[in-house]
């Protein structure tokens, strides 16, 4: 393997690619090669991202997700090898320069006041919802409390998201506690499930077979490549496109919004599927405890309503309100560029810009979007507190402009229109699908035809 040049030991990128299997995971960071086979088992972000990017240089992804203190852990995993043909693209050079500038400015540590405001808002809304249910006999008040609870779930999910990206406090333990409360206890969504899928989404943004956030067969398909029953590298199973999937996908542009109204049920199901699975789940018992808290207080609150019609109305109202958040997540990626296969560390910045869509909104609406309207900025700088994303948006735009990368920033209405057009294009092709060849280039046609 490789060879010596003086006292330095070298291997080629092609040789590095051979170390990409469980038990044999090598990566390169700034040309130095590290063996992370054992580290993957205790990696805070899980083994998934390492498995996905193993066998290549991952410098951009590493600096995006790790603070400066993480560099100290690398020495113990150094193999002694250096990449012989290590190169850095012009995009990566500029990206890394920005990361250095941001770190020196201390912007990653400037959490802002939005965290405190979010905590206060969630606490006030929870009190108001409980008080309205217990103290009022008005059906309209109970309906309003259901809507308020849905809004609480939206804001609490943003807190969980921020803490998962270490944006709430510098302490990993405190961030975990915040996640447990805002996720498991308040919304009924497991932080273990969220970390498992979300880390993979960031690493493999818009890869049809690696990004779980695009794998919604049999209900939705953003690309006709799903028509050939792709195998999900994330879930380890085939995404079967059968007659049921074909029927549902054929009408997905009509069912999109109704399904989003009940998207929360899917999150509950996914949470329990993971926790009851044989997969290794960090803090499994802690996650179950948090869910026990949620499934105690929420049914009790619903049971305090005077009759079953109002109980059903209350639950439906809370679910429908959260549809706004589920829709937003889809708008950020459904009409982005997609690809099949594992992501490449060498074009990490390019993959993030091609797969993400910003949503333009007024500053006073930032609280409702949780910073995720700056989706591209969040993907490029995932450790950046949400209060800083609007400030650095012009810098991200200039980076994209300089290197001819897409920077899409439609308004909320326009983003909805584009997403529905992509879904409609897939639906029409699903209807026309026969036993003959599967049509190609759906997403290219949808994006280039409809903007």
CA-to-CA separations, 111 to 40, 163, 444, in angstroms, rounded: 29, 11, 39
Q: Give the tens place of pLDDT for each residue, 292-342.
A: 999 999 999 999 999 999 999 999 999 999 999 999 999 999 999 999 998
What pLDDT, on a 0 to 100 scale, did the predictor assign at position 449?
32
CATH of the domain at 80: 3.10.120.10
Mean pLDDT of 151-164: 93
Domain assignment of residue 451, yes or no? no
For residues 186 and 322, membership in a common domain is answered with yes
- pLDDT over 80 at 8, yes or no: no
Backbone angles phi, psi at 31, to 5 degrees: 85, -15
- Which of 288, 314, 331 delimits the end of a domain? 331
Q: Are residues 132 and 39 in the same domain?
A: no
Residue 251 lies in a domain: yes
Are 295 and 209 in a shared domain? Answer: yes
Is 176 domain-assigned? yes
Do you find a cis peptide bond into 383, omega within 30 degrees of 0? no
Residues 196 and 245 in one domain: yes
The domain total for the chain is 2
**Domain encompassing residue 13:** 3-87
- Do residues 126 and 194 both lie within one domain? yes
pLDDT at 442 > cutoff 60: no
pLDDT of residue 451: 29
Q: Do residue 173 and residue 250 come from a single domain?
A: yes
Task: Say whether both 154 and 60 belong to one domain.
Answer: no
> 92-96, 279-283, 390-394 — which is least confidently predicted?
279-283
Res. 118: pLDDT tops 70: yes
Is there a single domain that holds both residue 200 and residue 258? yes
3-state SS, the chain, equals CCEEECCEEEECHHHHCCCEECCEEEEEECCEEEECCCHHHCCCCCCHHHHHHCCCECHHHHHHHCCHHHHHHCHHHEEEEEECCCCCCHHHHHHHHHHHHHHHHCHHHCCCCHHHHHHHHHHHHHHHHHHHHHHCCCHHHHHHHHHHHHHHHHHHHHHHHHHHCCCCCCCHHHHHHHHHHHHHHHHCCCHHHHHHHHHHHHHCCCECCCCHHHCCCCCCCCCHHHHHCCEECCCCEECCCCHHHHHHHHCHHHHHHHHHHCHHHHHHHHHHHHHCCCCCCCCHHHHHHHHHHHHHHHHHHHHCCCCHHHHHHHHHHHHHHHHHHHHHHHHCCCCCCCECCCCCHHHHHHHHHHHCCCCECCHHHHHHHCCCCCHHHHHHCCCCCHHHHHHHHHHHHHHHHHCCCCCCCCEHHHHHHHHHHHHHHHHHHHHHCCCCCCCCCHHHHHHHHHC
Is residue 439 very low, low, confident or very high in pLDDT (cuts 50, 70, 90)? very low
Question: Where among 331, 353, 374 does a domain terminate?
Answer: 331
Q: Are 275 and 211 in the same domain?
A: yes
Question: What's the confidence (pLDDT) of residue 443?
Answer: 41
Q: Say if residue 244's pLDDT is above 90.
A: yes
pLDDT band at 170 (very low <50, low <70, confident <90, very high): confident
Residue 154 lies in a domain: yes
Is residue 162 a part of any domain in this protein? Answer: yes
Assigned domain for 281 exists = yes
Domain contains 375: no
> Chain-wide mean pLDDT for the chain?
91
Average pLDDT for residues 34-48, to the nearest whole number?
Answer: 87
Q: How confident is the model at residue 444 (pLDDT cuts 50, 70, 90)?
A: very low
Q: Are residues 171 and 244 in the same domain?
A: yes
User: Do residues 184 and 300 both lie within one domain?
Assistant: yes
Pairing of strands 231-232, 78-83: unpaired
pLDDT > 70: what percent of the chain? 94
pLDDT, mean of residues 124-150? 97
Say yes or no: 157 and 67 in one domain.
no
Q: What is the mean pLDDT of residues 103-117?
A: 85
Between 422 and 441, the more confident residue is: 422
pLDDT at 446: 39
Domain end, chosen from 331, 363, 391, is at 331
Residue 294, domain member (yes or no): yes
């Amino acid at each position: 393997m490789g060879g010596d040049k003086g006292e330095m030991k070298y291997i080629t990128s092609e040789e590095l690619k051979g170390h990409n299997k469980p038990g044999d995971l090598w990566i390169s960071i700034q040309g130095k090669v590290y063996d992370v086979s054992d580290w993957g088992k205790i990696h805070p972000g899980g083994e998934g991202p390492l498995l996905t990017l193993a066998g290549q240089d991952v410098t951009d992804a590493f600096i995006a997700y790790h603070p400066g203190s993480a560099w100290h852990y690398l020495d113990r995993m150094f193999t002694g090898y250096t990449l012989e043909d290590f190169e850095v693209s012009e995009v990566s050079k500029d990206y890394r320069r920005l990361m250095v500038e941001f770190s020196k400015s201390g912007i990653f540590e400037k959490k802002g006041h939005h965290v405190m405001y979010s905590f206060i808002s969630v606490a006030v809304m929870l009190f108001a919802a409980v008080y309205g249910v217990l103290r009022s006999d008005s059906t309209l008040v109970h309906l309003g409390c259901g809507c308020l609870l849905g809004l609480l779930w939206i804001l609490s999910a943003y807190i969980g998201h921020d803490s998962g990206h270490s944006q709430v406090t510098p302490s990993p333990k405190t961030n975990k506690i915040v996640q447990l409360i805002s996720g498991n206890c308040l919304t009924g969504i497991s932080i273990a499930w969220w970390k498992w899928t979300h880390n993979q989404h960031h690493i493999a943004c818009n890869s049809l077979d690696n990004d779980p956030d695009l794998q919604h067969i049999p209900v939705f398909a953003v690309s006709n490549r799903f028509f050939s029953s792709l195998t999900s590298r994330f879930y380890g199973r085939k995404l079967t496109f059968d007659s049921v999937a074909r029927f549902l996908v054929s009408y997905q542009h009509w069912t999109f919004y109704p399904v989003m109204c009940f998207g929360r049920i899917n999150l509950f199901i996914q949470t329990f599927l993971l926790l009851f699975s044989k997969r290794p789940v960090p803090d499994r018992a802690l996650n179950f405890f948090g869910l026990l808290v949620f499934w105690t207080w929420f049914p009790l609150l619903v049971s305090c309503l005077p009759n079953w019609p109002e109980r059903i109305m209350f639950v439906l109202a809370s679910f429908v309100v959260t549809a706004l958040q589920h829709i937003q997540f889809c708008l950020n990626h459904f009409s982005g560029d997609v690809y099949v296969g594992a992501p490449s560390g060498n074009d990490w910045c390019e993959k993030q810009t091609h797969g993400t869509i910003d949503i333009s909104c007024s500053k006073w609406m930032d609280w409702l979007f949780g910073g995720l309207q700056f989706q591209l900025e969040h993907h490029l700088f995932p450790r950046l507190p949400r209060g800083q994303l609007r400030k650095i948006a012009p810098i991200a735009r200039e980076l994209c402009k300089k290197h001819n990368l897409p920077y899409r920033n439609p308004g909320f209405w326009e983003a909805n229109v584009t997403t529905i057009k992509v879904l409609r294009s897939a639906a029409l092709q699903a209807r026309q699908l026969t036993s003959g060849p599967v049509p190609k280039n759906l997403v290219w046609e949808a994006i280039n035809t409809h903007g």
